[in-house]
A = this chain, B = another copy of it.
Amino acid sequence: MHPTSIDSAGKPHSYNWRDKTGWRLQLTTKHQLTPVPFTQVHLDDAFWGPRMETNCTVTIPAEYRMLYETGRINSFDLKWKPGDPNPPHIFWDATVGKWIEAASYSLATRPDSALDAQLDWLASKISHAQQPDGYLNTHFQQVEPEKRWTNLRDCHELYCAGHLIEASVAHYQATGKRALLDVLCRYADLIDATFGISDGKKRGYCGHEEIELALIKLYHAVGNQQYLKQAQHFIDERGREPNYFDSEARARGEDPADFWAHTYAYMQAHIPVRQQTEVTGHAVRAMYLYCALADLANELEDEGLFTQCERLWEDACLRRMYITGGIGASMTNEGFTQPYDLPDETAYAETCAAVGFAFWNHRMLQFEGDRRYADVIERILYNGALSGVSLDGRTFFYVNPLASDGHHHRKGWYDVACCPTNIARLLASIGNYVYSQSAADAWIHLYAQGSGSLQIGESQVILQQITRYPWDGDVRVIVQVDKPALFKLHLRLPGWCQSFSLSINDHTEPDLPITRGYIVIEREWRSGDAVTLKMDMPVQYMQANPNVSAMRGRLAMQRGPVVYCLEGCDHPGLQLDQVRLRTDAAMSDIFHPEFHPELLGGVVVLHATGTITEPVRWDGNLYQSMQIPSPMVNLTAIPYYAWDNRAPGEMRVWFHTG
């Protein structure tokens, strides 16, 4: 078996996103791939397995306690009266919805009668809160009932409805119980009756997108086309002139110019959605909108919408994404700024935005099976999303900077508690991202030990992965079929991979075609057939495009899909901003990766040497001379996602060299 250099086999490293000549074999705007749902995927690896277990046994129960203690659960009892403390907030229902979704996913893979009963009880509580006309919003029903649908711009009313809809679909799919689903269908029917272009209907749409993707999900669950049309209506109306938020503000007696966020670009409503080709504004809102756009492109087989999604994706991924997969650089708008504005220490990179970014990429991936989307999903999952929750599952980052002076730490809860439940629903359904299927194809997007049950045409196919990924690049895929089956197996060649070898039943296959970044093996598969993919996984120095001014001359460490950082507690006495990475030797002489089973849940640590600039007393001076050569220091890099799980201290991802 000899390694096949990727440069001769498909040049994925110099893969030019903009020049897809020869890549797109069939121009399609319909999903060619169907994701294999997480319920058909079992992960028994040492990486995701324990994280999922912690998510189900620690995080989801802990979040419920916080929801309960902060009044969000019993808010559905509608017992709050004016003058009472702790009025139900405008986005409480959304948080409960996301928790139900996460808990349902947990229940779908781990039978748990107590959780089942708890969800029934909560569904019943929600059901009783619903008004006769179908309306359901604990804030507006109790705090300001006269203001229903009067401030779509600011009040998250349809956003809350969307999250409850997603919750009801998840609960239905996990349990087959329609109780909550029926409640939310009634609410969706009211929304359908309330919003539209015909006389007497409101032409509004929500300031915070979510209802659009939720209605499409509901359409899939119950088959009512009206929900799809309503989602399309919200998208088509968004940003149209005269702007609905202007007229709505005037109807409230407010001057639209007083809008606190100053621009409707904040919520992607500054111009009609179909004219938007640059990502803008609040990152979570943007992601939820783009998810709905991708869904709609698929449903309508709308090539214009698909092309727009591609342009938005390129703007996001090629100009606005942190190396961790985090997005939304600015705290000011919790969102996007200028292209290539990616500062490390002040990075916002909200956990929810990373989660939404994964959702969007997952939808884009299913159109054609193009590796670029899976590469981004992998980058998000192993880095900027996973950092959102502590190893013990009890604390959460809302903001995920790429450098810290030691004062940034996870918390057990937030008043605006969107992130904890978002990361919980992602982790509970992480299996969704591993496989896709079609009538004659199987795709492996992510490598993780475990198995997936696929339906390929008439065949039931089980793909079993044996691997220590992401700590090792060797993956053995064993195929189980009920009878010999002809299909194409697509194995993703990750963007980070520079050389690999592949064998089938221990025969090296050096000349397999690579299509859209996937090695394609077409054969009649028999049970026990084994594919061994060996991907070299050296430590890599990553550099950012020169347009990223904040990263000019700096390097980050990455191994496989995992981005590394230095943390203060591994480097007592060092100031991390004075550490410089060596470039004067071969990587294998500078870095020595080693698996530490006891550390941080089991991680590959990078032992390395770097240099350190002599501590300089600046005394306010502007320029000083620098002494060289700089002394050498020992460094210990840990995965970025695992930082802030030990003693508080500095953290850095990007370093100067020298």
Contacts and interface: CB of A to CB of B under 8 A. Distances in A.
Contacts of A628: 541, 583-587
B622 A543 contact: no
Closest 5 interchain pairs by CB? A553-B656, A657-B658, A16-B619, A583-B658, A540-B625
Contacts of A553: 553-554, 580, 656-658
A228 to B, nearest CB: 34
A8 to B, nearest CB: 17
Contact of A543 (B541, B584, B623, B629): B623
Contacts of A558: 625
A584 B629 contact: yes
A321 B622 contact: yes
A460 to B, nearest CB: 39
A625 B17 contact: no
A658 B630 CA distance: 12
Contact of A618 (B546, B550, B585, B625): B546
A552 interface: yes
A620 B546 CA distance: 10
Interface string A535-569: 00000111111101110111110100000000000
A496 to B, nearest CB: 8
Q: Which bracket fits the contact residues of A?
A: 35 or more
B622 A548 contact: yes
A194 to B, nearest CB: 42
A192 interface: no
B585 A622 contact: no
Contact of A546 (B15, B18, B318, B577): B577
B545 A618 contact: yes
Interface in A606-649: 611, 613, 616-626, 628-630
Contacts of A656: 552-553, 656-657
A18 B625 contact: no
Contacts of A583: 580, 611, 628-630, 658
A254 to B, nearest CB: 25
A13 interface: yes
A15 to B, nearest CB: 8
A498 interface: yes
A594 to B, nearest CB: 21
A338 B543 CA distance: 28
A623 B544 contact: yes
A397 to B, nearest CB: 22
A373 to B, nearest CB: 15
A323 interface: yes
A203 interface: no
A410 interface: no
A319 interface: yes
Contacts of A18: 619-620
B657 A622 contact: no
Interface in A103-137: none
Given A553-B658, A629-B586, A545 B611 contact: no
A617 B630 CA distance: 31
Contacts of A618: 545-546
Interface of A: 13-19, 314, 317-319, 321, 323, 496, 498, 540-546, 548-550, 552-556, 558, 577, 580, 583-587, 611, 613, 616-626, 628-630, 656-658
A498 B625 contact: yes
A626 B543 CA distance: 6
A657 B543 CA distance: 14
Contacts of A630: 583
Given A545-B624, A584-B629, 17 more contacts: A13-B624, A16-B619, A17-B620, A17-B621, A19-B619, A318-B621, A318-B622, A496-B625, A540-B625, A544-B622, A546-B577, A553-B658, A580-B583, A583-B629, A584-B584, A584-B628, A585-B629
B657 A580 contact: yes
6 contacts: A15-B621, A318-B621, A542-B625, A553-B657, A584-B584, A585-B629
Contacts of A544: 622-623
Contacts of A617: 14
A613 B553 CA distance: 10
Contacts of A546: 577, 618
A7 B19 CA distance: 60
A341 B620 CA distance: 15
A273 to B, nearest CB: 24
A540 to B, nearest CB: 4
Given A584-B584, A658-B658, A624 B552 contact: no
A282 B556 CA distance: 39
Nearest to A590: B628
Contacts of A541: 625-626, 628
Contacts of A657: 553, 580, 656-658
A13 B545 contact: no
A150 B195 CA distance: 60
Nearest to A611: B583
A545 B622 contact: yes
Contact of A323 (B16, B577, B623): B623
Nearest to A556: B623
Contacts of A555: 626
Contacts of A498: 625
A541 B583 CA distance: 19
A626 B555 CA distance: 8
A591 to B, nearest CB: 11
Nearest to A654: B553
A550 B321 CA distance: 21
A554 B613 CA distance: 12
A17 to B, nearest CB: 6
A150 to B, nearest CB: 35
A626 B542 contact: yes
Candidate in A321, A624, A656 with the most chain B CB atoms within 10 angstroms: A624
Contacts of A314: 620
Contacts of A586: 628-629
A471 B546 CA distance: 36
Contacts of A16: 619-620
